[in-house]
Amino acid sequence: MNFLETLLHPDRDDDPERGEIVHAANLLQIGEFQLLQLAFADWFDREMSEEEGKVVFQEFMIRGQVHAWARHYARKINALDKENQLHDDEPHYHRYDRDYFRIPMSNARRRFIVAATIVFGFVGGSIALASYSADCGTTEFPPCFSKNELMQNPQQE
């Protein structure tokens, strides 16, 4: 698959089994490895150890091998989506996301307002400082001419 094809269709894969995993991960709006972690926990009823994670990562991402438990979980997700029963914002799908629950909406809005105020304050302060520090009587923006330069007759020089 070429690069442009991957950009246009990110959930398509040459291998149909890997394509099921990729499609299910895209439906949940998580990464493929996070889907593998969820599938492992669902199948084995325990969390994946770090060593198992390395092996699963290499097998899936490097060698392209898809385990039966991962395929089963991806098919469950895809079936839920076809039945319109999939709720991708449920917390148990995002338990491996580091910052999924970190910023509530009101806090995010407050942070945006603070950042926008800082940016506009900096730009406005810079313009005000430029107008007071420049020795121009007409405007603070270039070209900067003083009132005396504008009043001179160019033919007198």
- What residue numbers bound the domain in which 60 lies? 3-94
Copy the structure tokens of residue 70.
């991962």
Task: Please indicate, yes or no, whether residues 30 and 77 belong to a single structural domain of this protein.
Answer: yes
Can you state the angle between helices 32-44 and 16-28, rounded to 10 degrees?
90
Average per-residue pLDDT for the chain: 80
Can you state the angle between helices 50-57 and 32-44, rounded to 10 degrees?
120
Spatial distance between the Cα atoms of 6 and 12, rounded to a whole number of angstroms: 7
Residue 23 near residue 15 (C-beta atoms within 8 A): no
**Residue 77 CB neighbours (<10 A):** 23
Q: Is residue 32 part of a domain?
A: yes
Show which of 69, 94, 119 is a domain's final residue: 94
Residue 6: its pLDDT value, please? 62
Task: Please indicate, yes or no, whether residues 73 and 140 belong to a single structural domain of this protein.
Answer: no
Task: Please indicate, yes or no, whether residues 90 and 111 belong to a single structural domain of this protein.
Answer: no
| Residues whose CB is less than 8 angstroms from the CB of residue 101 and which lie 6 or more positions away in sequence, other chains included | 91, 94
Task: Please indicate, yes or no, whether residues 40 and 61 belong to a single structural domain of this protein.
Answer: yes
Q: Is residue 101 part of a domain?
A: no
Q: Is residue 100 part of a domain?
A: no
Tell me the mean pLDDT in the region 7-30: 77
pLDDT of 142 > 90? The answer is no
Q: Is residue 34 part of a domain?
A: yes
Residue 38: its pLDDT value, please? 93
**CA–CA–CA angle 18, 45, 34 (5° rounding):** 40
The percentage of the chain sitting over the pLDDT mark of 90, rounded to a whole number, equals: 27
Task: Please indicate, yes or no, whether residues 87 and 13 belong to a single structural domain of this protein.
Answer: yes
What letters, b where the CB count within 10 A reaches 16 and e where it falls short, cover 103-113?
eeeeeeeeeee
Tell me the mean pLDDT in the region 93-121: 77
CA R_g for the chain? 29
Count how many domains the chain has. Answer: 2
Copy the structure tokens of residue 52.
């198992």
Task: Please indicate, yes or no, whether residues 64 and 115 belong to a single structural domain of this protein.
Answer: no
Task: Please indicate, yes or no, whether residues 132 and 68 belong to a single structural domain of this protein.
Answer: no
Task: Please indicate, yes or no, whether residues 89 and 110 belong to a single structural domain of this protein.
Answer: no
Among 129, 148, 128, which residue's Cα sits nearest to residue 138? 148
